[in-house]
Structure 1
């Protein structure tokens, strides 16, 4: 048996995958915001521990606040009072970016001051966007308050399958957790190199002539700056009116239109995976770019999936027509409340439906959105042979296979 929980994570991601009947294996992918963890995820983690089970693999796909914030709070809680075992964590932090040589020279005091100020700003920014109310203590800078620092403090098995190095797709060899097979689709070395180049560019833009070294302040400053300066410059809001009577006709005309693909460096660094358990195949695409997913699926010769978590909350720039044609599935998951950038884009969904019109499909939305309303259409459901399942934002959607 395979169970997938898609949590209400606002405009973010949080998934718990449980596999097996007895001695279940659990894979946690992202943790949404702090509220996601505190209001929904934590109680399920406690239940897993009460059953003498554990998180066999925790993946934090990339450094965006809608994926990582709840993970920071989770690991902070678990460090203070360990309530659940975690076999391994996959997460690429500053220390895993390898393309730039890191000097051994000590930072000057003024450089330390600048980095500490940036950390304080980042901590304040993160908490402001994670909760309706925050305490004074949460605004203050706390050393070791980033995910990377907390993983080190808790002595977790961090990127163990990669010998402590970066989670990066170098070949097509699968990774095993007992009988569970995982293919890593993204990122590759090029995506990670671009991420580090972005970081160095940000430092230079601030006119900080730092000697980049292994000081732990860089780990914290890097993580917070990535979240503070998330790149939304390439976001395109759909020009299809969600209220127009002509919306369906215009929508169908967009099926083969190719939009510019996502160029966000943060999204490009996403950890995207294929999970295979017995005959069940699950694709979790984080916010990954479409080109790397297309290439990797072809290289490993995989098609026809049981479930696809659609990339970047259904953004039209992350699922082009070619990728949609490769994502043959009966179940598609869209994780977003639609408040940011109006995701998911209707063009993404119509591409996925049109690529496999004869097969009976289910579309899962963890919130009711303007886009989900479009696909409530009986005409569209009959034409493209699908059903729609919409959450209320107050409890997780549970999918069993």
Structure 2
């Protein structure tokens, strides 16, 4: 199995390629970054898949924010123009509205200022690729040729919250980017890189309250005893509850090979309770450090490193999908001894993707 995390600025775009139990290779895409991410990295990956005479078995779009759905919207555009064919067998996507068009002959776009989430829904619906049920943590795990996918979030309640926010017949546009009013819960107004790792007060924590982030599809992927957590922008309380329902606790942690850190390393989406349940050495931050919310937050990194349930003698590896001065400045104020004190190493990527063979 090969896992690839693509450069998507402050967004998510990744894929899994694995040799299934049918002795054929299969591909799963998870999110798609911004629209420009398609030309930057995804288009070439899709062409490689076509050249191998393979398909994308599943494309998971976690939620409606630009930095997760945008690349898939551009892909649809190229399909409509005939530039590409749709090689995706199945999509996982939770529509942001209740689309009951039987009550009116009007087109969706006549009801609302149509957004990317609506465009994606219309495409899936018109091409018979929309599931007739929601992807939530209530459904049974999916077995895809030996790749087991367990849905950790969202809950039905978080999907209902999303649809209550965006009634079909309202004039409220879908939120494409995070509203500034929730940014305080997500990241500091200025970056916190001048604060020492040891000086963060980790006893204070406030969870992200974004309705859109709360609707994120996050998964546990398992293949040949290898486990990876793909946490999208989910609320950590939902992930914690799902992991506990699966039987994990502080004495029986989930042992993972990789964790795609929630919401690009925001402080509001990464909690002590979450990392109390996880035993993992490799943490991936899908972020470039150059964004209005100043992600990743250093507090998130400190919370992972200083977790009271962290196994003794464990070495942590933090991987970033970019290499630039902003990301490298996170540790500028630290004494070099901090890496030995908390036994961790940092890796930056100057390539268009981070590729991991598992």
Q: Shorter-chain TM-score category?
A: 0.7 to 0.9
Q: Is the 8 A contact 2:265 2:301 kept in 1?
A: yes
Distance of 2:256 and 2:156 partners within structure 1 = 26
Structure 1 unmatched ranges of 5 or more? 127-144, 207-221
Distance of 1:229 and 1:320 partners within structure 2 = 23
Q: CA RMSD in A?
A: 2.8
More helix as a share of residues: 1
- Aligned pair count reads 341
Structure 2 unmatched ranges of 5 or more? 249-253
Q: Structure 1 residue aligned with 2:147, among 180, 196, 201?
A: 180
Call closer, same or farther: CA 1:262–1:345 in 2, change over 3 Å: same
Residues 27-36 or 72-81, more deviating: 72-81
**TM-score, normalization by structure 2:** 0.86
Q: Is the 8 A contact 1:57 1:89 kept in 2?
A: yes
SS at match of 2:183: coil
Q: Structure 2 residue aligned with 1:373, among 315, 325, 329?
A: 329
Q: Deviations over 1:218-266 (max 9, x none)?
A: xxxx8xx22347434222243786564xx22xx3232632321011000
Call closer, same or farther: CA 1:147–1:105 in 2, change over 3 Å: closer
2:175 — aligned with what? Answer: 227
> Is the aligned partner of 1:329 residue 2:273?
no
Q: Deviations over 1:339-394 (max 9, x none)?
A: 230001111111112233621221111123635432475322212222211123x5
More strand as a share of residues: 2
Deviation at 1:315, TM superposition (A): 0.5
> Is the aligned partner of 1:361 residue 2:309?
no
Distance of 2:189 and 2:9 partners within structure 1 = 23
Residues 15-24 or 41-50, more deviating: 15-24
- 1:246-261 alignment runs, 5 A limit: 247-248=195-196, 251-254=197-200, 256-261=202-207
Q: Is the 8 A contact 1:11 1:340 kept in 2?
A: no
SS at match of 2:268: coil
Distance of 1:395 and 1:287 partners within structure 2 = 22
Deviation at 1:108, TM superposition (A): 7.5
Call closer, same or farther: CA 1:241–1:64 in 2, change over 3 Å: closer
2:210 — aligned with what? Answer: 264
Deviation at 1:52, TM superposition (A): 1.8
Distance of 1:325 and 1:177 partners within structure 2 = 29
2:163 — aligned with what? Answer: 196
Q: Structure 2 residue aligned with 1:278, among 214, 224, 228?
A: 224
Distance of 1:60 and 1:8 partners within structure 2 = 17
SS at match of 2:150: strand
Distance of 1:93 and 1:348 partners within structure 2 = 30
**TM-score, normalization by structure 1:** 0.77
Call closer, same or farther: CA 1:36–1:201 in 2, change over 3 Å: closer
1:390 — aligned with what? Answer: 348
